[in-house]
Structure 1
């Protein structure tokens, strides 16, 4: 919803840069006040920059680009595909977590759900461009979540410090793109500008605090579990889209979302570890 409102005055790249800049300021203040400013080597900083590109740089640009062509409701429903991408990239990039048959079946079900969600049979008004941008963003989230496990598993830092460095690096990376875009109209920065306040709210809530909590979940329960936050996003964003923005919900969108969620549930399933047999019981009839 905040992205949709911010796009009234700002370009997609400006929305991305604005939320990152606001988020970085809040996180830096938090890290300094909590004395949680981490000290990283250049190698660790490089790893954080790579993860930041996929977790907050590219997707923060792609999502506003998508919402120029699709509603905030459809964007949020497509955001629910993030765990599918995460499960797929975890299976591809982490050898110890190869996908089993149930998970592969879940990925197929999820893909079919995306087709239903988008109304693939609508040849005349199929939202191809918006869907491509949005799915590109969720694929980036999947890659970023997986790389966070591969590249950041040995980094010892608080979630606040980790988030502060990542968001700051992402801000610096996309700053040249933001500077190259046209300057917003003067009214965009007035106190009565809904777009400006939406951008600030997006940075403070959805970029700073949300990322601190995200890294806490990644450290405690893993990337796949952290990505399952997308179960809640479609419900809240759809309600706000209808009530606040006056958007229309098509029948096939919630149906497709339910199919996607079913695929996500299957794709996230892990086989239960077999109980170990004590040496003294091996070969016995017990």
Structure 2
């Protein structure tokens, strides 16, 4: 990976780590539904402008079902779940829970294809679970009312990303920019029916709307462009290393701008989760004990 792509990778991690900061700021005011409707709408409009400038077509007549499925599991549903969790949990905890997505993906992929799960993956799953337990068990947010439901929602959001990844591997190939653009418009339609059932708690200020705009344009629109450029330049495996950097920035931004406490359990829990993710995704050498595997059902 050259210096330019390394800068892109770190920038992407900083942006995606910041998404939890912006959600933590705006979710208690707007509520999850209105916040995410704004987020995907701003992202869709930004990508539409980019698509118009680059003369990129969506080909809705052919791919509309694909965009709806991808929009549901890669944007609308996980965004809503994270926004719901952001009313209670800190940006630090949210960013670490998000890092469990590759672990869910490995487990779901093995179950779907009925493949053997290696000792390396099993170790990674156990380590990741232990890291999450350590993080939320000692963090003060775990004592807040509704924290258990919020943690479950954040983990379900990470699981949704793994579903989207599994679907994308088996779906008909669509140009990456079209995937990002089309799924954002699909998310706008999917979130819209939820709005009447989840009203906004209060009126947003200019600062809140600025955070929402950043969440949509920066953390969704621009971030997608950076991510797909990275995939094109260095491949999917190298681009996935952003998973290891997101929590670093999520914790950093939470501490700097929201005054969130970074305790020993934050550092230790995050490190264990990232270690587990590294084992599950294959960024560490395979453990040598092929006899110790199990078959998923």
Superposition TM-score, scaled by structure 1 size: 0.82
User: Which residue, 211, 218, 242 being the options, matches 1:229?
Assistant: 242
Q: Which runs of 5+ in 2 are unaligned?
A: 1-20, 287-297
User: Which residue, 117, 131, 142 being the options, matches 1:99?
Assistant: 117
In the TM superposition, 1:255-270 aligns within 5 A as: 255-269=268-282
RMSD of Structure 2 on Structure 1 (CA): 2.6
| Inter-CA distance 215–45: structure 2 relative to 1 (3 Å threshold) | farther
Equivalent residues of 1:83, 1:228 under 8 A apart: no
1:115 aligns with 2:133: yes
Deviation at 1:8, TM superposition (A): 4.4
Aligned to 1:85, the other structure's residue is in SS state: helix
2:180 matched residue in structure 1: 163
2:168 matched residue in structure 1: 148
2:199 matched residue in structure 1: 182
Q: Deviations over 1:216-248 (max 9, x none)?
A: 5567634x6554422111111111111111111
Deviation at 1:214, TM superposition (A): 3.3
The CA distance in 2 between the partners of 1:23 and 1:249, in whole Å, is 31
User: Which residue, 222, 227, 246 being the options, matches 1:209?
Assistant: 222
Which protein shows a greater Rg? 1
Deviation at 1:34, TM superposition (A): 0.5
Q: Which runs of 5+ in 1 are unaligned?
A: 273-286
Q: Deviations over 1:51-99 (max 9, x none)?
A: 211110111111111111211111112111112112222323356x753
- Comparing both structures, which one devotes a greater share of its residues to helix? 2
Deviation at 1:141, TM superposition (A): 1.0
Q: Deviations over 1:152-171 (max 9, x none)?
A: 4x23x2x3222111111111
2:5 matched residue in structure 1: none
1:252 matched residue in structure 2: 265
| Inter-CA distance 121–176: structure 2 relative to 1 (3 Å threshold) | closer
Give the number of aligned pairs: 261
The CA distance in 1 between the partners of 2:108 and 2:238, in whole Å, is 14
The CA distance in 2 between the partners of 1:74 and 1:102, in whole Å, is 25
